[in-house]
């Protein structure tokens, strides 16, 4: 009887928690994407005005609940001097969202270099990665197929882990649902390699 009640209690009042690092160069739209995610997945959430979001220096955090899954987000600053801090979060990350400013053609190679350095880190082995070609709402931006061509040589570094590139507009919220739902499925599927943190629902 106790086992039955314990199982019922866990089913009703516990969530599997997963940590997701949001990475990318500065001004890629990471913080805006996090705010849109919280807005779309959290009922009655009144977040920051997107027009007032500034460059992240350090760390922004957020969380959303999807069914019995809780995603904790770490939005890390993307300036070159802050990228050296990214790997401090890798071992505890269950997934990575890597955001590219597809309107900044001059820095696309720099973004790819940062991505390649991140993806080969052993602490992220087998961790699923969602790559977002952001700012698709801006005229003159690189389309997803063009961004894929730039990142094509990264494929051997990615290996067999789950990895998907999507176009998005963090400012307008386009593509947010699709990306988060895909990533959540991948995280759950990878839970044998990276077990969740179990927490009581609060």
The annotation status of 26 as a binding-site residue, yes or no, is yes
Domain 32-190 has CATH 3.30.1390.10: no
Cβ 24 vs Cβ 30: under 8 Å: yes
Mean pLDDT of the chain: 90
The annotation status of 28 as a binding-site residue, yes or no, is yes
pLDDT at 175: 96
The annotation status of 191 as a binding-site residue, yes or no, is no
| Residue whose tokens read 């990142």 | 151
Cβ 196 vs Cβ 178: under 8 Å: no
The annotation status of 121 as a binding-site residue, yes or no, is no
Please write the tens of the pLDDT for every residue from 152-193.
999 999 999 999 999 999 999 999 999 999 999 999 999 999
The annotation status of 67 as a binding-site residue, yes or no, is no
Cβ 21 vs Cβ 89: under 8 Å: yes
The annotation status of 72 as a binding-site residue, yes or no, is no
The annotation status of 200 as a binding-site residue, yes or no, is no
Please write the tens of the pLDDT for every residue from 35-57.
999 999 998 887 666 655 666 65
The annotation status of 24 as a binding-site residue, yes or no, is yes
The annotation status of 78 as a binding-site residue, yes or no, is yes
Task: Count Cβ atoms within 10 A of the Cβ of residue 191 and give its class: 0-12 exposed, 13-18 middle, 19 or more buried.
Answer: middle
The annotation status of 27 as a binding-site residue, yes or no, is yes
The mean pLDDT value for 75-104 works out to: 95
Q: How many CB atoms lie within 10 A of CB 197?
A: 13
Domain ranges for the chain:
32-190
The annotation status of 30 as a binding-site residue, yes or no, is yes
Kindly tell me if the per-residue pLDDT of 7 is higher than 60. Answer: no
């Amino acid at each position: 009887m106790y086992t039955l009640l314990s199982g019922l209690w866990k089913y009703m009042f516990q969530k599997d928690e997963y940590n997701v690092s949001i990475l990318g160069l500065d001004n890629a739209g990471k913080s805006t994407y996090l705010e849109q995610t919280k807005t779309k997945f959290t009922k009655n959430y009144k977040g920051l005005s997107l027009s007032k979001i500034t460059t992240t220096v350090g760390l922004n955090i957020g969380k959303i609940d999807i069914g019995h899954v809780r995603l904790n987000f770490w939005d890390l600053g993307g300036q070159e001097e802050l990228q050296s801090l990214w790997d401090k979060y890798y071992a505890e990350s269950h997934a990575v969202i890597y955001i590219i400013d597809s309107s900044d053609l001059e820095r696309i190679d720099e973004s790819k270099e940062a991505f390649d350095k991140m993806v080969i880190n052993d602490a992220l082995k087998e961790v699923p990665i969602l790559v977002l070609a952001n700012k698709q709402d801006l005229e003159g931006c690189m389309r997803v197929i063009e961004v894929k061509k730039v990142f094509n040589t990264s494929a051997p570094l990615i290996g067999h882990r789950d990895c998907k590139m999507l176009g998005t507009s963090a400012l307008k919220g386009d593509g947010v649902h699709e990306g988060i739902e895909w990533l959540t499925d991948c995280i759950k599927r990878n839970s044998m390699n990276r077990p969740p943190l179990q927490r009581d629902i609060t």
